[in-house]
Chains A and B, each alone.
Chain A
């Protein structure tokens, strides 16, 4: 099946610094990628939809200036958490959306990045 990589898998940073997370589709092209945030024992909360070659679409309540998303190619999307604060500590997961045979809508998820802001 399709593989999505995410890097780094975990990161610890100081408050006020910026962190960049990369999401790559390894063996396929992804026109659309999603970025999610997940707190312990909670569901996936969609942060933004990243479309190759265009601006990301952010969900209500997500600050676009704080969570910068770039989808410069069909295999790479990046999320930069700017001026991170402890409340930004979370599990960040990307996914690539693939419309398959029979109009099957599948998302292939990266392994996630656990961000801890001190």
Chain B
């Protein structure tokens, strides 16, 4: 089976940088994804890493180390609207498994 670990909650100040870590155990690993979900809404895709290294998309970056079974999501220049839950997810051929989610609270 698959298992993922990520912190349940993180608090950061507006304008700062925050990193959300994710470690995983799985077989048949294809890649690691990150999704954002605001309260009451559906998840939206943020990024996908299939290879080691950093992927940057605007204020968001995602990193993967396959040898360490580890990845992180980096959010820069935090805004109040970034307050949401962030899920890492591992892709295998048949399906995608989500972590428990990290609730990010951005404070003024």
Contacts and interface: CB of A to CB of B under 8 A. Distances in A.
Interface of A: 34, 41-44, 46, 49, 57, 93, 95, 97, 102-112
Contacts of A106: 33, 45, 48
Chain B interface, >50% SS class: strand
A105 B96 contact: yes
B43 to A, nearest CB: 5
Interface string B86-102: 01010100111111110
Main secondary structure of the interface of A (DSSP, over half): strand
A107 B42 contact: no
B22 to A, nearest CB: 12
B54 interface: no
Contact of B87 (A43, A102, A103): A43
